[in-house]
Amino acid sequence: MKRAPLWQYVLIHALAGAPLALTAYEYLTNTLPIVLDRHLVIRFGAVGLAFLIASFSITPITILSGRPDLIPLRRSMGVYGFCYILLHFLCYAWFSNQFNLELIVRDIGERRAMSAGLLALALLAPLALTSTNGWQRRLGRRWKKLHKLVYIAVPLSILHYFWLERDIKDWVYVYAGVVLILFLVRLPQIKREIARLRQRRQSELEDEKDPA
């Protein structure tokens, strides 16, 4: 499969490193907020969700644009999404519960948002661990079946965000709408219709170039 241009990989790595660089800068300049747990948990969770949805959007974008060279970008985005979601969970476990397993389990039982988020993280873990070319060869056809777990993990991540106790939920509705569209584009009937329209458009462009 043709690789995406180098600048696209550089852009993804730069975007992924920016939140960590900002956090390091805030630490070194003593500008981190007093309520550190909420600040970092929200930051890392938001970045993780953004990368996860960006990764999930690559296949629909490929369907719409007919550009398979974008597919290799999906892995980098997905792995970064998992890493930030894991950081999100670790910050929550550290700052809110001091890694006390009993408190974490109790919190999961009492708050449905925690249950949805932890289940999403558990589903994403094997996807991140088997995202390499080596694992793809070892698992063969099973690799694609395993990675369909993302179809469950993404909605669960949105649900986790929605169930959090916040007054402002504007962004979660935006994310939910985007994810719904991404699922619809994947439907076989819609995929075929998009391919047909793209093929017709390509034919029209070729006729314009060669009117004879």
Residue 124 has pLDDT above 90, yes or no: yes
Place of tokens 């995406």: 4
Q: Measured between alpha carbons, how far is residue 169 from residues 28, 76, 100, 175, 183 in Å?
A: 32, 28, 30, 10, 21
Residue 212 has pLDDT above 70, yes or no: no
- DSSP H helices, the chain, are 6-28, 36-65, 73-91, 97, 101-110, 112-129, 133-139, 141-147, 150-163, 170-186, 188-209
pLDDT for 109: 84
Note whether residue 1 is domain-resident: no
More confident residue, 159 or 200: 159
Q: List phi, psi (to 5°) of 140.
A: 60, -130
Note whether residue 136 is domain-resident: yes
Note whether residue 16 is domain-resident: yes
By residue range, what is the domain housing residue 126? 6-209
Note whether residue 86 is domain-resident: yes
Angle 152-146-125 (CA atoms, 0-180°, nearest 5)?
70
Note whether residue 197 is domain-resident: yes
pLDDT for 5: 78
pLDDT digit string, tens, across residues 80-96: 999 999 999 999 998 88
pLDDT digit string, tens, across residues 146-179: 999 999 999 999 999 888 866 667 788 899 999 9
The total number of structural domains that make up the chain: 1
Note whether residue 11 is domain-resident: yes
pLDDT for 16: 95
pTM: 0.88
Residues 88/80, Cβ–Cβ less than 8 Å = no
- Nearest C-alpha neighbor of 73 from the set 81, 187, 88, 121: 81
pLDDT for 126: 95
pLDDT for 159: 92
pLDDT for 7: 85
Q: How confident is residue 1, by pLDDT bands cut at 50, 70 and 90?
A: low
Average pLDDT, the chain: 87
Note whether residue 33 is domain-resident: yes
